[in-house]
């Protein structure tokens, strides 16, 4: 074995150990959200901190620089190994580019700002959190500027790269511009069409939480998740956590409406299936991880939005629901479920938005972030600029900051460059679904039997098994023959919302 290969093997062992610490942290994170009594939180914080710091120490150790140099001294034959090495290099660069003092200052500022934000949102008063957010933005800017020369990306692209490697602002801008043009024309048409449709029959309820949970678990398993490798539990904020061999989905139950938990669990099931489908041979290596936030969101949305809101699947679901909630009668008819769950509406809140207006919420945040990081905007400008941007896109103005600039946790927790992932994921989901249908004509007839396995088989082969071998656009190119393009998404929306 050559010296380069030996150095690579040492790095692979080190990254495996770091990944195992990450697994421990992930499981403890699940426990903190789902099981932990309040009195355990201080100790849990220390556990996270020690695990993160040990992992960080392993990553920035001098031996890593030596091994990276040695491993790169002669090319690795295996393309996956070569990609893995490049991702290790990137992780090392990101970790060593920032002084420890900055990392600690960011952690403190983010934690403090998030706490203030919770109160500010409750009181709908942006001025309460303005100073703390200014500090967060200043530190994030410092972080982006420190990363920029090292990653050879613009400062804002360094932030985006932290969530979705391989995507820059210049990739996103034309995509969003095209979508904007589509939306301006489509939204009034959809609203006019909806106005002509019959009113949806309301669900009556109540729907006992235990029964909803049984339904959600059954649907999640039917979608392909294995009982031996997953759990479904309850938490205030739904998420998909855990590790690839032990994925942990959570949701919450509203006893007056089962739709949120049902579609929420199918969303998380999409995330979970991605994790389950990552290649076992590359587990715990950078190249064996999911390809980024946008890629992950494409997998949750292809299940939730593409499959589970399709006519085919709703047709099947309608009968299934009748066995759980027989008293609901005609409200469970497929056409009524479509009326209930596929309604387009201009609203203030991103997380409540339908799939057509959702990108507008993302686009305005993307633009505000860029103007903030270019120095054009100050933090104090945000509430006014927010309301202006929303009005410009959707023609509505938030009644207060709680329904405007204070609604999302992201900025107040130092997450800038994250929002585009949601819409890139939604677009990628449509693009992948289109390619999947072209590759396998049985996908829709299977969905009409409540069977997602042909779709899942295609995703396993084209997306899950590729892990991080490709960047986001290359992954789409490999699976669909082209990089991210909004036309499959707009075609999907046109079919679903603009045809009678």
Any idea which residues carry the catalytic annotation? 268
User: Does residue 28 interact with a copy of itself by CB under 8 A?
Assistant: yes
Which one of residues 2, 6, 54, 351 is an interface residue with a copy of itself (CB under 8 A)?
Answer: 54
Q: Is the dihedral of CA 94, 246, 309, 439 positive or negative?
A: positive
User: Does residue 330 interact with a copy of itself by CB under 8 A?
Assistant: no
**Which of 368-372's residues contact partners 24+ apart within 8 Å by CB, and which partners?**
369/156, 369/416, 369/417, 369/419, 370/156, 370/169, 372/137, 372/416
User: Does residue 61 interact with a copy of itself by CB under 8 A?
Assistant: no
- Give the Cα separation of 244 and 275 in Å (integer): 5
User: Does residue 424 interact with a copy of itself by CB under 8 A?
Assistant: no
Look-up of token digits 């391989």: 166
- Give the Cα separation of 473 and 468 in Å (integer): 11
- Give the Cα separation of 270 and 267 in Å (integer): 5
Q: Which helix (H) or strand (E) holds 64?
A: helix 62-71
Beta strands in 43-184 (DSSP E): none
User: Does residue 39 interact with a copy of itself by CB under 8 A?
Assistant: yes
Of residues 116, 17, 23, 109, the one with CA closest to residue 61: 17
Look-up of token digits 């090319």: 75
CB of 469 to a copy of itself, least distance (A): 22
Between 225 and 321, whose beta carbon lies closer to a copy of itself?
Answer: 225
Binders of a copy of itself among residues 454 to 493 (CB under 8 A) are none
Between 76 and 467, whose beta carbon lies closer to a copy of itself?
Answer: 467
Between 272 and 377, whose beta carbon lies closer to a copy of itself?
Answer: 272
CB of 498 to a copy of itself, least distance (A): 43
Beta strands in 158-235 (DSSP E): 230-234
User: Does residue 280 interact with a copy of itself by CB under 8 A?
Assistant: no
Binders of a copy of itself among residues 238 to 277 (CB under 8 A) are 242-243, 245-246
CB of 47 to a copy of itself, least distance (A): 5
Q: Which helix (H) or strand (E) holds 146?
A: helix 127-151
User: Does residue 36 interact with a copy of itself by CB under 8 A?
Assistant: yes
Binders of a copy of itself among residues 195 to 234 (CB under 8 A) are 226-231
CB of 209 to a copy of itself, least distance (A): 15
User: Does residue 301 interact with a copy of itself by CB under 8 A?
Assistant: no
Q: Which segments of 237-357 does DSSP mark as H helices, in order?
A: 259-277, 293-301, 311-324, 334-341
CB of 150 to a copy of itself, least distance (A): 29
Which one of residues 9, 10, 14, 47 is an interface residue with a copy of itself (CB under 8 A)?
Answer: 47
Q: Read off the tokens for 74.
A: 């002669």
CB of 37 to a copy of itself, least distance (A): 5
Q: Read off the tokens for 489.
A: 């998404």
CB of 248 to a copy of itself, least distance (A): 9
Which one of residues 6, 35, 78, 256 is an interface residue with a copy of itself (CB under 8 A)?
Answer: 35
The CA-CA-CA angle for residues 290, 292, 294, to 5°, reads 120
| Under 8 Å between Cβ of 439 and 455 | no
Q: Is 136 exposed, middle or buried (0-12, 13-18, 19+ CB in 10 A)?
A: buried
Task: Name the segment binding a copy of itself (CB under 8 A); options: 23-31, 253-261, 314-322, 445-453.
Answer: 23-31
Those residues whose C-beta lies under 8 Å from the C-beta of residue 222, and which sit 6 or more positions away, are: 450, 451, 452
- Strands 230-234 and 246-251, by their bridges, are parallel
Between 30 and 207, whose beta carbon lies closer to a copy of itself?
Answer: 30
Q: How far is CA 355 from the centre of its chain?
A: 14
Between 233 and 474, whose beta carbon lies closer to a copy of itself?
Answer: 233
CB of 486 to a copy of itself, least distance (A): 38
User: Does residue 21 interact with a copy of itself by CB under 8 A?
Assistant: yes
Q: Which helix (H) or strand (E) holds 42?
A: helix 41-60
How many residues of this chain interact with a copy of itself, rule: CB under 8 A? Answer: 32
From residue 374 to residue 413, the character string flagging contacts with a copy of itself as x (rule: CB under 8 A) and all else as - is: ----------------------------------------
Binders of a copy of itself among residues 100 to 159 (CB under 8 A) are none
CB of 364 to a copy of itself, least distance (A): 41
- Strands 246-251 and 240-243, by their bridges, are antiparallel
Between 46 and 77, whose beta carbon lies closer to a copy of itself?
Answer: 46
Helix orientation angle between 3-34 and 79-97, rounded to the nearest 10 degrees: 60
User: Does residue 10 interact with a copy of itself by CB under 8 A?
Assistant: no
Positions in the binding site for a copy of itself (CB under 8 A): 17, 20-21, 23-24, 27-28, 31, 35-40, 42-44, 46-47, 50-51, 54, 226-231, 242-243, 245-246
């Amino acid at each position: 074995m050559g010296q380069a290969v030996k150095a690579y093997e040492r790095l692979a062992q080190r990254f495996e150990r770091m990944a195992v610490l990450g697994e421990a942290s992930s499981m403890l994170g699940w426990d903190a959200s789902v099981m932990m009594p309040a009195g355990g939180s201080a100790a849990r914080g220390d556990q996270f901190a020690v695990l993160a710091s040990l992992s960080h120490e392993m990553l920035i150790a001098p031996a890593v620089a030596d091994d990276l140099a040695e491993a790169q001294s002669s090319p690795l034959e295996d393309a996956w190994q070569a990609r893995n090495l490049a991702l290790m290099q990137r992780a090392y660069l990101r970790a060593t580019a920032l002084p420890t003092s900055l990392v600690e200052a960011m952690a403190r500022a983010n934690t403090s700002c998030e706490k203030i934000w919770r109160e500010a949102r409750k009181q709908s008063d942006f001025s309460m959190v303005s100073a703390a957010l200014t500090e967060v933005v200043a530190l994030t800017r410092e972080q982006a500027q420190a990363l920029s020369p090292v990653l050879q990306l613009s400062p804002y692209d360094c932030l985006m790269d932290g969530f979705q490697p391989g995507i820059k602002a210049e990739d996103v801008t034309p995509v969003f511009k095209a979508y904007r043009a589509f939306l301006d024309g489509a939204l009034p048409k959809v609203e006019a069409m909806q106005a002509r449709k019959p009113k949806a029959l309301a669900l009556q309820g109540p729907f006992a939480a235990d029964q909803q949970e049984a339904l959600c678990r059954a649907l999640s398993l039917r979608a392909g998740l294995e009982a031996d490798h997953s759990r479904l539990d309850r938490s205030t904020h739904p998420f998909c956590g855990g590790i690839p061999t032990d994925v942990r989905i959570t949701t919450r139950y509203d006893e007056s409406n089962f739709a949120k938990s049902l579609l929420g669990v199918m969303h998380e099931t999409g995330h979970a299936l991605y994790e389950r489908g990552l290649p076992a041979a590359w587990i715990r290596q950078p190249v064996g991880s999911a390809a980024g936030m946008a890629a992950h969101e494409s997998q949750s949305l292809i299940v939730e939005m593409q499959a589970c809101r399709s006519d085919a699947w709703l047709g099947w679901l309608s009968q299934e629901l009748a066995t759980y909630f027989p008293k609901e009668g005609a409200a469970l008819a497929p056409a009524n479920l479509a009326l209930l769950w596929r309604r387009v509406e201009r609203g203030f809140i991103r997380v409540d938005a339908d799939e057509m207006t959702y990108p507008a919420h993302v686009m305005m945040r993307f633009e505000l972030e860029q103007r903030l990081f270019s120095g054009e905007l100050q933090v104090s400008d945000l509430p006014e600029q927010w309301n202006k941007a929303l009005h410009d896109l959707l023609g509505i103005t938030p009644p207060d900051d709680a329904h405007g600039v204070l609604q999302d946790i992201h900025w107040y927790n130092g997450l800038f460059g994250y929002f585009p992932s949601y819409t890139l994921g939604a677009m990628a989901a449509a693009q992948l679904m289109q390619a999947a249908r072209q590759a396998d004509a049985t996908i829709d007839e299977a969905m009409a039997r409540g069977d997602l396995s042909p779709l899942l088989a295609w995703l396993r082969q084209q997306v899950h098994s590729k892990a991080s071998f490709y960047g986001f656009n290359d992954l789409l190119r490999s699976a669909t023959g082209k990089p991210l393009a909004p036309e499959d998404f707009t075609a999907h929306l046109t079919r679903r919302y603009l045809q009678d």
